[in-house]
Amino acid sequence: MNRNFSAAYPGSFDPPTNGHLDIIIRASNLFSKIIVAVTDNINKRHTFTLQERIDLLRESVANLKNVEVLPFSGLLADYLEKINSFVVIRGLRALSDFEYEFQMALMNRKLNKKIETIFLTPDQSYTFLSSSMVKEISMLGGSTKSFVPKCVELELKKRFGNR
Ligand code: PNS
């Protein structure tokens, strides 16, 4: 573990999936503290409110003592300066993620040259998993049991009344 070294894992987490959780666990084994930084992605229409996403994440990571879930708004680069933490963790599932992630990593470093982005790959069983697919499955009556933490599964059931 990188002693006394924190990293931020930013995202919209709408909703959090087991893939996100897998990345959080991997990151928490590498750094002394992980801040899961939750925000609204202005390019997406969210299903869950910011507070709902935070609550679901907090419940999902309750057993991880070095993980904190916090909201942020505005530029990630500005937020990292505020919390004095300049390592960004992002999950990379497949080649299809690469272009967007690469662009974001370079843009963040352009905005603040102290920022380094580290890409972690989730367990291969999660490479196909995304929040939008989970929502689609739930909306169409499918079970999300094996894709999301229990609290998220219950919330999806409440919202979409699926199995
Ligand atoms: O989980 P997502 O939606 O893929 O996460 C994207 C997110 C929220 C990390 C990204 O959109 C972001 O950093 N938003 C904050 C605003 C910002 O800094 N935009 C410039 C990014 S280069």
**Domain with 13 in it: what CATH number?**
3.40.50.620
State percent of the chain over pLDDT 70: 96
Beta strand ranges found along 60-140 (DSSP E):
67-71, 87-91, 116-120
- Which is nearest to 6 in space by CA: 111, 79, 106? 79
Is the CB–ligand 1 distance for residue 106 below 6 Å?
no
pTM as predicted: 0.96
In total, how many domains does the chain have? Answer: 1
Instruction: Please check whether residue 151 lies inside any domain of the structure.
Output: no
Contact residues for 159 (Cβ-Cβ < 8 A; gap 6+): 47, 138
The pLDDT confidence band at residue 2, using thresholds 50, 70 and 90, is low
- Domain span at residue 34 reads 6-125
**pLDDT exceeds 70 at position 38:** yes
- Ligand 1 centroid, distance to 145 Cα (angstroms): 27
Instruction: Please check whether residue 143 lies inside any domain of the structure.
Output: no
Instruction: Please check whether residue 160 lies inside any domain of the structure.
Output: no
- The residue whose CA has the least distance to atom 7 of ligand 1 is 11
Phi, psi of 41 (to 5 degrees): -85, 115
The pLDDT confidence band at residue 161, using thresholds 50, 70 and 90, is confident
Q: Catalytic residues, which ones?
A: 20, 44, 93, 131
